[in-house]
Amino acid sequence: MPRSEIDLFLARPDEAVCDALRNLEGDIVVLGAGGKMGLHLCLMLRFALDELEQDNRVIAVSRFGNLKSKSEYEERGVLTVAGDLREERFVAELPDAPTVFYLVGAKFGTADRPEILRETNVDLARSLALRYRSSRIVAFSTGCVYSFVTPGCGGSHEGSPTEPVGEYARSCLERERRFQQVSEEEGTEVVLIRLNYSVEFRYGVLVDVASKVLAGEPVDVSTGFVNVIWQGDALRQIVQALPLAQSPAIPLNITGPDILSVREIAEEFGRRFGRKALIEGEESETAWLNNAGRSHRLFGEPSVEIDTMIDWVVAWLSGGGSTYGKPTGFEKRDGKF
């Protein structure tokens, strides 16, 4: 499957997405749209609005200097605004919109640069929440704001303690708090999306594990259990979360229904690739695990099951498909990325 077809496949809306956007008034601004999920979110919104024959504009805001180019958005009907969200004048001149999806964040390469985490994940969150104080905001967060838990507990739910490990996760919790503060101070309607782990053909926990098995490299199982959700499913549920935004802000876990063994995933990839999976380390008692029961009750369980995800990743990598070359670091237990 060519990359262009993959992007369209991941961006495919369903009837529930269309229902969430039906009769939506005004434009949609997607802040931080140039990352791994931004293009697919923008296209999903555009395609759904087109199906509904609604003329709301979808506006992607990013520097567009990394994974995605402006043309990938513009040629499919998404407007783009290029610039640096750290610049006050640029932010002030952004178009107003009653609906905002917030994807801004820093993670990789920040282990020794806490100032980047503070600037991007914390300070920008408050300034942009204030800029769009009159909008309804869907803000991406992470399941890493919770503490490590045992697989037997079923995963952290929205009311579980937030005791994050490491500077990155702490900065993500602080990002949530900035949105919560603005929501309370200004009455801004916000839903905080605690997502883990989104996977697709070129990125994610499954790609990390499969790539190591295929290359004959050992798979570290010290963080021995994970949740995953197919990126298309994650985005469809995130769009459906838009009507849930309220003041005070509320969190919502988005992930798959299963707690998966990393060892078993590696061994399954080994069977599919016809080679022995090399295992390194022993499973710790705890991991970052989320319980997305609430979102599943609201939206239904994700449509793509783990066996299908594995099928797709195996087919992609076996066929020489490229990856983003950005390992998730899911196995790290010190929270340094």
Mean pLDDT per 10-residue segment, the chain (337 residues): 86 98 98 94 99 98 81 96 95 98 75 70 93 98 95 97 88 95 98 97 98 98 98 99 98 98 98 97 96 98 98 96 91 72
CA–CA separation, 90 and 93 (whole Å)? 5
CA–CA separation, 29 and 26 (whole Å)? 10
Q: What length does the chain have?
A: 337
Predicted local distance difference test score (pLDDT) of residue 163: 86
Predicted local distance difference test score (pLDDT) of residue 279: 98
* Domain 3-199+229-255+288-303 -> CATH class: alpha beta
> Cβ distance 191 to 245 under 8 Å?
yes
What residue ranges do the domains of the chain occupy?
3-199+229-255+288-303
Amino acid at 116: I
The set of residues, in sequence order, having a beta carbon less than 8 Å from that of 6 and lying 6+ positions away, is 200, 201, 202
Predicted local distance difference test score (pLDDT) of residue 117: 74
Predicted local distance difference test score (pLDDT) of residue 107: 59
Predicted local distance difference test score (pLDDT) of residue 214: 97
> Cβ distance 239 to 299 under 8 Å?
no
Sequential DSSP letters for 263-299: HHHHHHHHHHHTSPPPEES---S-B--B--HHHHHHH
- Residue 260 parent element (H or E): strand 260-261
Q: Report residue 289 as tokens.
A: 């695990």
> Tokens 């053909």 appear where?
201
Q: Label residue 176 left, alpha or beta by phi (over 0 means left) and psi (-120 to 50 means alpha).
A: alpha
Instruction: Give strand ranges (E) for 122-199.
Output: 136-140, 189-195, 198-199
CA–CA separation, 57 and 318 (whole Å)? 39
pTM: 0.95
Instruction: Give strand ranges (E) for 77-148.
Output: 79-82, 99-102, 136-140
